[in-house]
Chain A
Amino acid sequence: METSDIYILCIEDEQEVLDAVVRDLEKLEEQFPVETATSAEEARSVIEKLLENGKKIGLILCDHILPGDNGVELLIELHKNEQLHASKKVLLTGQAGLEDTVKALNEAKLHHYIAKPWNKEDLMSVSVELLTDYVIEQEDDVLPFMGTLDAAKLSEFIRSGRNVSDS
């Protein structure tokens, strides 16, 4: 499996929780390198560094309660960045109220809400589905992702997108 230039970013202030998320996404890490941040401030600098190096961010998993700006504020801010427009955004939290969640949905185009404590399989399947959508929308060649992501959905895209042919 070749490492792609699509990154997964996890933002979470509690180190043990952050470790758990990374561990649950282990199977994806081979192809989608995982970066972590423990505050909004750190997340911004990680993102800046990745984008500077020509990397892409396919998936952002963000906790709501963070030191400094909270998760929803951060996601709304990130969504305004054109290079992160296509990135799939997930709120992974137990404490975001209805108002905050609606705000994230409307203003950051939140793709998914995972309630804590999460189930390992759910986190994995949500991540796989969102990354599958991301590569379908963003990548010219989806073949390298079939082994890790949703192969049926990607095959269907190849068929219906009519973007490959005999040569």
Chain B
Amino acid sequence: MKSGFLGLTKTQLAGLVLGVFGLFLPFLLPLASLSIAGHIGLGIFFMAAIFWMFEPIPIYATSMLVIFLQVVLLSSQGPVYMDAELPLSEPVALEEGQWQIPSSALKNDNTVLLAVEPGETESISVYVVDRNGQHVIVESTELDADTAIITDTGHRLVNYQPNSYTEYLGTLAHPIIILFLGGFMLASASVKYNLDKNLTRYLLGPFGSKPRYIVLGLMLVTAMLSAFMSNTATAAMMVTVILPIIAQLEPGDRFKFGLALAIPIAANVGGITTPIGTPPNAIVIAALSEYGIDISFTDWIIVAAPLVVVMLVFAWWLLLALFPPSISRFNLKLEGKLNLSPKAVGLYAIFAATVLLWVTENQHGIPSSMVAFLPVAALVTGRILDKSDIRKLPWDVLWLMAGGISLGIGMDKTGLAVWMISGFDWGAMGYITLILTFSIVAIAMSNFLSNTVTATLLMPLVISMQASGIMGDDFNLLIIGVVVAVACSLAMALPISTPPNAIAMSTGIIRTKDMAKVGVIVGVVGVLIILAYAVFYWPMVTN
């Protein structure tokens, strides 16, 4: 597989070449209706999408590269826009209704661009009376002695007002990233003081020793933990719980497939429950907030949790139907003792306070990202987490999300997002078709790509459908955003679909075909459940 060059596989090498080509591609096919900045933005989008798909460099590296390119190529302080000024001129009044303007201001289709606001232009049609070299005489009732006419219609500032580079860099401190930082630090401390294991022990107790209820218990506990911790860490922990159970089965017993599949399914689905459950949620929430829709922690749970419960119960039924239990009871031995050292107790208090404040956001109104700084500050102040723990946080995931948010800002700012969807007649699609399309595309993509990347690539399109107004009043931005977030987490047909799948597959207990069969069924039923919620439940709770 390795091609030897830079230690990349052939696919990765192809991705590297294609990605670099993609960066320049928009300039090879000038797209008339797209601004120069839009061309740059499109190049960055192509490169990022290809790099994220083929992974010639790690996905977080692509995110950092996106931010770097945006800062250099799109910001008002970068070399491209540093000294840029839009060349303007005022028309010279001749006789009645006729004006003399520079010939460079007249476009081929006899229109003239007027600068309205920074970054905005208005196009007016004029009647050409005469041309004399550098000037043209035109007739128009819309011109005025102090109208600002753009004299270079292909200028890089036409239809683009660059923003400060700090906006792109600032995505790393975006409220949603800070929310995740809070979640990561709580999770890290929970692992350090074994809170996750001890909670599992207590929560599994009531489910007894009957195999079917043990599976249900495992799934509910996994989902509950992964709603607050990373799906991956939860899955790794739960694997240590199920291995001793599986060891009690006969070697050829198919029930073990169900047990081993229950963990990644519940971890993936559980991540949907809260904003901090899994990164795609963050991408969706950040994109919506850029558009002025702020979803509170409580709102998200109200929207997402009922779907999670239905998905879990369905998956439980499915696993038991496919892989029925063969023995009547299990010996579930979970050893461990609750850590009662002062630091551990401090963690429990901080954990409880934070989660309580998060889920009651609607009652007190303190934004969840602000609450998230409570664990950040308290855990290090109390020396519950030290320097080495901070260094071990998944910073790569924070950068991955920041790059995704930054890409979205750039696509919106350059007019690229609106331009991308303008070529397709979305209006002809009904609400139901639209939801089916987005959920199926998201599930299909994120089976092969990172869930976060899928959300990142789809959200700018969702936002621009709203911004451009082509969907009319039927369009509910919030619902389509939730559809994307949920669908990204329901892709689990392959070992590469999500890290929890990879962990479950690595144990060697399940076969790829079992995972594919169950994953495809969960995906298809998931689309139907999403549709049902989008039609009956979400309109009720989001208005």
Query: Chain A interface (Cβ within 8 Å of chain B)?
Result: 143-148, 151-152, 155-156, 158-167
Contact between B451 and A167, CB atoms less than 8 A apart:
yes
CB-CB < 8 A to B451: which residues of A?
A: 166-167
A144 to B233, CA, bound (A): 17
Cα A144 to Cα B505 with chains together (Å): 9
| Complexed CA–CA distance, A165 and B392 (Å) | 11
Which A residues are in CB contact (< 8 Å) with B396?
165
Number of A-B residue pairs at CB separation under 8 A? 84
User: How far apart are the CA atoms of A84 and B294 in the complex, in Å?
Assistant: 56
**Which of A147, A161, A164 touches B507 (beta carbons < 8 Å)?**
A147
- Please name the 9 residue pairs, one residue from A and one from B, whose CB atoms are nearest each other, closest first: A147-B508, A165-B394, A146-B506, A158-B236, A155-B239, A159-B236, A143-B506, A167-B450, A159-B237
- Contact yes or no, A159 B233, CB < 8 A: yes
Bound-state Cα–Cα, A159 to B231, Å: 11
Distance (whole angstroms) from the CB of A140 to the closest CB of chain B:
12
Residue of B236, B279, B502 with most partner-chain A CB within 10 A: B236
Q: Are A159 and B499 in contact (CB under 8 A)?
A: no
From A146, A160, A161, A167, B400 is in contact (CB under 8 Å) with A167
A162 pairs with B233, CB closer than 8 A? yes
Interface centre among A148, A156, A167 (most CB of B within 10 A): A167
Cβ-defined partner of A164 (8 Å) among B236, B271, B393: B236
Contact status of A158 and B503, CB under 8 A, knowing A146-B508, A151-B243, A166-B451:
yes
Is there contact, CB below 8 Å, between A167 and B240? Answer: no
Alpha-carbon distance between A160 and B452 when the two chains are bound, in angstroms: 23
- Taking the complex as formed, is B436 at the interface, i.e. its CB lies under 8 A from any CB of chain A? no
- CB closest chain-B residue, reference A1: B508
Known A-B contacts A146-B507, A151-B507; the reply to A166 vs B279 at CB < 8 A is: yes
Q: Are A166 and B240 closer than 8 Å at their CB atoms?
A: no
Q: At the interface, yes or no: B188 with Cβ under 8 Å from chain A?
A: yes
Whether B237 lies near A167 (C-beta < 8 A) is no
Contact A167 to B233, CB < 8 A, known contacts A151-B508, A160-B191: no
B192: A residues at CB distance < 8 A? 160
A162 pairs with B240, CB closer than 8 A = no
17 A-B pairs within 8 Å (CB atoms) are namely: A143-B506, A144-B506, A152-B240, A155-B237, A155-B240, A155-B243, A156-B237, A156-B240, A159-B237, A162-B188, A163-B392, A164-B499, A164-B503, A165-B394, A166-B397, A166-B451, A167-B452
List the A side residues contacting B271 at CB < 8 Å.
Answer: 166
A146 and B451 CA atoms in complex are apart in Å by 24
Contacts of A160 in B (CB 8 A): 191-192
B230 interfacial contact with A, CB 8 Å: yes
Q: Among the listed A143, A148, A152, A165, which residue makes an inter-chain contact with B233, where contact means beta carbons less than 8 Å apart? A: A165
| Cβ distance B247 to chain A, nearest Cβ, rounded Å | 10
- B-side interface residues, number (CB < 8 Å): 35
Known pairs A155-B236, A158-B503; list 15 more (Cβ under 8 Å).
Answer: A143-B502, A147-B506, A147-B507, A151-B507, A152-B240, A159-B196, A159-B240, A160-B191, A165-B394, A166-B230, A166-B232, A166-B498, A167-B279, A167-B452, A167-B499
- Contact partners of A148 in chain B: CB under 8 A: 508
Which B residues, 194 to 241, have Cβ-Cβ distances below 8 Å to chain A?
196, 230-233, 236-237, 239-240
- Tell whether B59 is near chain A: CB-to-CB under 8 Å: yes
Please measure, in the bound complex, the distance between the C-alpha atom of A161 and the C-alpha atom of B396, giving whole angstroms.
Answer: 15
Q: Which of A143, A159, A160 has the most CB of B within 10 A?
A: A159
B12 at the interface (CB under 8 A from A): no
Task: Give, as a whole number of angstroms, the nearest-CB distance from B226 to chain A.
Answer: 9
CA distance A151 to B245 in the complex (A): 13
Q: Please give, as numbers and ranges, the residues of chain A lying within 8 Å of B232 by CB-CB distance.
A: 158, 164-166
Task: From known contacts A146-B506, A146-B507, A160-B191, infer whether A166 and B231 are also in contact, taking CB-CB under 8 Å.
Answer: yes
Which residues of A have CB within 8 Å of B394? 162, 165
Complex Cα distance, B388 from A161, in Å, reads 11
Q: A167: nearest residue on chain B (CB-CB)?
A: B450
Q: How far is the CB of B522 from chain A (nearest CB, A)?
A: 18
CA distance A84 to B244 in the complex (A): 34
Least CB distance from A118 to B in Å reads: 24
User: Which residues of chain A have C-beta atoms less than 8 A from B498's C-beta?
Assistant: 166
Is the C-beta of B273 less than 8 angstroms from some C-beta in chain A? no
Is B278 part of the binding interface, using a Cβ–Cβ cutoff of 8 Å?
A: yes
A98 vs B192: C-alpha distance in the bound complex, in angstroms? 40
Distance in angstroms between the alpha carbons of A3 and B244 in the assembled complex: 27
Interface centre among B191, B240, B396 (most CB of A within 10 A): B240
